[in-house]
A and B are shown apart, each in its own frame.
Chain A
């Protein structure tokens, strides 16, 4: 039972354009969402997060949008740069219920930004 899903295994974007990575979740107890970036042969690194009480969080070129009614979040990268090419994971956590203490990840999306 995949509670966090990233339905696009890969995304290819031209440098300077917008990259939009999507994530859907099924567990209504999730109340905190995070995005991680992973380069080959390295561990994931934290990128940006959002609490369920917000619908948008921005950090430089990265913006995360949360639509609670649709159980959907997205990560926007503007403008995209070749160095952004990596695997992006979304993750979710809950402060209560059976998911408390756990961090649930999606399958990941491979982003390729072409010069």
Chain B
């Protein structure tokens, strides 16, 4: 089954404690990206990757890091989480770039206290 898998689904952490949200896709897609969803703001792109070892900033990259060492994985790293990073996060992948259907993961609900 074609899918994008994020882990964990829910996470409560404390300010400053480094965390990683994993994302894996099984469709051999080249393009992967991370979004955060906040009330009234919709989905905002954090980082994206057009292929292995190629990553770039989206609209709200501050406080986040990513890596793309393998095609299937695109982890999101918060080196020092802060309460304003409390949000719902989605990973997505698509074939051949942006202008095709993107498949989204189930989401990760992150709370930073």
Contacts and interface: CB of A to CB of B under 8 A. Distances in A.
Interface of A: 4, 6, 9, 32, 34, 36, 41-46, 49, 51, 89, 91, 93, 95, 101-108
Contacts of A36: 102, 104
Interface in B3-41: 4, 33, 35, 40-41
Interface of B: 4, 33, 35, 40-45, 48, 50, 56, 58-59, 90, 92, 98-99, 101-107
B23 to A, nearest CB: 11
B98 A32 contact: yes
A32 B40 CA distance: 23
A4 B92 CA distance: 19
Contacts, number: 64
B54 to A, nearest CB: 10
A108 B43 CA distance: 8
B99 A43 contact: no
A103 B33 contact: yes
20 contacts: A4-B42, A6-B42, A9-B40, A32-B98, A34-B101, A43-B107, A44-B43, A44-B90, A49-B99, A89-B42, A93-B98, A95-B99, A101-B50, A101-B56, A102-B45, A103-B33, A104-B45, A105-B44, A106-B42, A107-B42
